[in-house]
Chains A and B, each alone.
Chain A
Amino acid sequence: MDGAVPLFRMEGISKRYGGVRALEKAELSVTAGSIHAILGENGAGKSTLIKVMAGVVAPDEGRMTLDGSEVSFASPAAANQAGIVCIFQELSLIPELSVADNIVISDPPKRFGLIDRKAQRRIAEEALARAGAADIHPLALVKDLPLSRRQMVEIAKALARKPRILILDEATSALTATDVAKIFGVLRRLREEGLALLYISHRMNEIAELADQCTVFRNGRNVASYAAGSKSDSEVVELMIGREYSHIFPPKPPRHAAAVPVLEARKLSWTDRLDNVSLTVGAGEVVGLGGLDGQGQRELLLAFFGVLRGLTGEILVDGKAVAIASPSAARDDRIGMALIPEDRKTEGLMLPMTVRENLSFAALDRVSKAGVIDRAVEQRLIDDMVELLAIKTAGLDIPVGALSGGNQQKVVIAKWLMRQPRIVLLNDPTRGIDVGTKQELYQLMRKLADAGAAILFYSTDYDELIGCCDRVLVLYDGAVKRELVGAEITEHALIASALNIHGEAAGPMHGEGA
């Protein structure tokens, strides 16, 4: 590919969200007739890069050139017009419409001003065939298709737009192995046809099999580009990890022989998202959940918290089987569970309500007598929490939405600590908050554990798992694939097991850690 004129170039692209920099002077060039893989950890800037390319977000600075002339996209439609099509994960399919309707949705064929159903059918069949999904009936409703088929429709829909650059963002994450093989065939053929393909995936083996060129992103920057196959998995992982800052984690206490199990799961299964998960969390223990995003970690926490229906298997608290049918049962004193949910803005807080109202919201029964709130008691508990977590707020009666992300997250945690829970489930609590607050949360977690709480902690940041956890369970496809204990918890081991690299890659590391 050397010497080939790039079809598309990005230079010096930067993008900030609030105080967080997502991209910092990132560069990328894409050549026609090649498959370009992009690698990086969660939050390395890959998805922002794609959004910029696809016209979903505008960059703060930098320039993009297509065929040598400068371009900018005001909307996804504008990017499509220029021939850049991105496959989002099932977001853009309309469930109640048929496959054919969806494939032609942005520009249906018309006859006498009305949609030409015959032509539409033809286009859809062609596109499905090109995507290697000719088995999907064009008249089927999208909502009736399983996730993997929807993903194929999504690909067909992209192809129907006749792209010059096709971006696949984790497009294979929901696919079965057979589908992946088919897609690869399709992608290779598209490469032959002269398309430029941009491929983002966490699956290393896929990249090795498919890509011509690889670029690694880290902290919003492209740190390395190399021809596929010229580096070993191990080297690639090193490139992805190399960190510029390190968190300060509280020291872990020496591991006791066996902590008293407080929370226990036996063979928990739920739809196709959880697969025979068994685990124990002991008093005073911080147990991490690792793995790629979306491997069932979130569902596991919801399962404990009584949100999921049709759960099979057993949940035990203090060694006794319990049936938890709702969050209200989970927070009951006999169980004493708390969940710091994934999205603090929609699940943790009522943003327009005041800091005060949010802080006492989960503990209203604790501060009330006969349903009437005892303001003095409420005030005392709130003051305790504000002090304990050092929540910085201009007052208790301002909307909680006015606080910084970090302080909002503290409010979410505080509202649960007010109940003095014995079991604390945390769903990626440090996402999108500043480093200082993160450190405070690490200290707090350890403090709670030392006071006897059982903590189950899911994080997308491997560093945190290493720094905070006594044990880490790595999930893949809804099942616990590996348990890492103590010194075994290394970046290498975490990433390797998260990517489900079998045999040699995982084996030696186990030895290394032990």
Chain B
Amino acid sequence: MNGIAGRMPKFLRRADPAVVTAFACILLLLFLGSLYSRSFLSPEYLLQQLKVASFLGVIATGMMLVILLGQIDLSVPWSVATGAMMASAAAAYGPVGVALAIPFGILCGVAIGIVNGIGVAYLRIPSMIITLATNAVAQGLMVVYTGGFSPQDSATPAMRYLATGFAIPAVPNAVIIWALIGAAMVFALTRTGFGRAVYGIGNRERAAYLSGIDTRRVVMVAFAVSGGLSAFGGVLLAGYASKAAQSMGDAYLLPSIAAVVLGGTSILGGRGSYLGTVAGVILITLLQSILSVMQMPEAGRQIIYGTVIVAMLLLYGRAPASRG
């Protein structure tokens, strides 16, 4: 075998069928969309989609890390909202507050993630339960903070710039941010000991522990990163909408899980590539976009969403058959 011919089959052989399926679905959606409207394939529209996708992309990156461990983070909704609200809130405290708004928002998300991490890693509470609980606590804190009204603080210029500006002509900043975070995640997962440990724990925590990995610390860090990225997603969303909103995170829980799982990451942990998550994020965003272009009401969107996810999971996300 020589040159390209030698490489291609290997590339195809090594590609995860789920990732290939996800990209095929993206192409299919683009095709269907273009039948509906000519502008669907225009660069402006596609870039706009990519920009919308990058918010989900940032959040899904953290979710992926947690799912690779075989866990789940259900505190995404209020981690997103907390990040957005706290960043906006900091802006009310003078120039220093404005300067520190973004890190402060992210830090609040990290704090939520740390509580999750302590619960999962050290207290061994099922992640699904502890993250639901911290979600409720974060919600409670935010309700107390805002006094039950929608938050009045508005996003700082820096937040708006990150979400809507153009540092490079024609490429939205949000997309650049997603690309940077994505690149960092790919690097962490493939080139660092931490990444190896994440996959190892997801595959067989027992074996990872007996190999001398401090599994609890790895799990803890992963949840902290997930919380931080959710909050960062919230910061960007607040910048995009100019302000934070009470239930802004609700719309990101199912899509972030779905994007990761549709991208071929096993919900049981240990298997999955970031490329798949990228495909999943784009797939979900396009699906949402087409549904809204078709002026599908929220009800239909939810139904199609849920059905598509269950259907795709049944296709390739099943646990292996065992025990009668």
Contact = CB atoms under 8 A, between A and B. Distances in A.
Interface in A343-373: 346-353, 357, 360-362, 364-365, 368, 371-373
A339 B210 contact: yes
B193 A371 contact: yes
Query: What secondary structure prevails in chain B residues at the interface with A?
Result: helix
Contacts of B271: 352
Contacts of A164: none
Interface in B212-245: 212-214
A281 B193 CA distance: 33
Interface string B247-272: 00000000000000000000000110
Interface string A314-343: 000000000000111011000000010100
B200 A350 contact: yes
Contact of A353 (B203, B206, B213): B203
B194 interface: yes
Given A349-B207, A350-B203, A361-B200, A330 B212 contact: yes
A360 B196 CA distance: 9
Nearest to A373: B191
Nearest to B217: A328
Interface in B162-215: 191-194, 196-197, 199-200, 203-204, 206-214
Contacts of A415: 211
B200 A353 contact: yes
A327 B210 contact: yes
A353 B68 CA distance: 13
B209 A350 contact: no
A368 B197 CA distance: 13
A75 B193 CA distance: 46
Contact of A372 (B192, B208, B210): B192
A46 to B, nearest CB: 25
A330 B206 CA distance: 16
Interface in A28-71: none
Contacts of B200: 350, 353, 357, 361
A361 B211 contact: yes
Given A327-B212, A352-B271, A361 B196 contact: yes
Nearest to A302: B210
Interface residues of A, number: 30
A350 B200 CA distance: 6
A372 B211 CA distance: 18
Interface in A288-322: 305, 307
Contacts of A347: 204, 206-207, 210
Interface residues of B, number: 22
A346 B213 contact: no
A361 B203 CA distance: 13
B69 to A, nearest CB: 13
Contact of B270 (A75, A331, A350): A350
A446 B196 CA distance: 32
Contacts of A373: 191-193, 196
A351 B212 contact: no
Nearest to A341: B210
Nearest to A367: B193
Contact of B193 (A331, A349, A353, A365): A365
A362 B270 contact: no
Contacts of A339: 210
A348 B210 CA distance: 7
B225 to A, nearest CB: 14
Contacts of B211: 327, 361-362, 415
Contacts of A360: 196
A327 B209 contact: yes
A23 B111 CA distance: 59
Contacts of A375: 191
A368 B299 CA distance: 51
Contacts of B196: 357, 360-361, 364, 373
Contact of A328 (B191, B207, B214, B324): B214
Contacts of B213: 328, 361, 364
A375 B206 CA distance: 26
Contact of A348 (B193, B207, B212): B207
A364 B197 contact: yes
A326 B214 contact: yes
Interface string A468-508: 00000000000000000000000000000000000000000
A90 B191 CA distance: 45
Contacts of A341: 207, 210
A328 B212 contact: yes
A355 to B, nearest CB: 13
Nearest to A356: B196
- Sorted nearest first, the 6 A-B pairs with minimum C-beta distance are A350-B203, A364-B193, A331-B212, A362-B211, A328-B212, A327-B212
21 contacts: A75-B324, A326-B209, A330-B212, A341-B210, A347-B210, A348-B210, A349-B204, A349-B207, A350-B207, A351-B204, A352-B270, A352-B271, A353-B203, A361-B196, A361-B200, A361-B208, A361-B213, A364-B196, A364-B213, A373-B193, A373-B196
Interface of B: 191-194, 196-197, 199-200, 203-204, 206-214, 270-271, 324
Given A330-B212, A373-B193, 13 more contacts: A326-B214, A327-B209, A341-B210, A347-B210, A350-B200, A350-B207, A350-B270, A352-B271, A353-B199, A360-B196, A361-B211, A372-B193, A415-B211
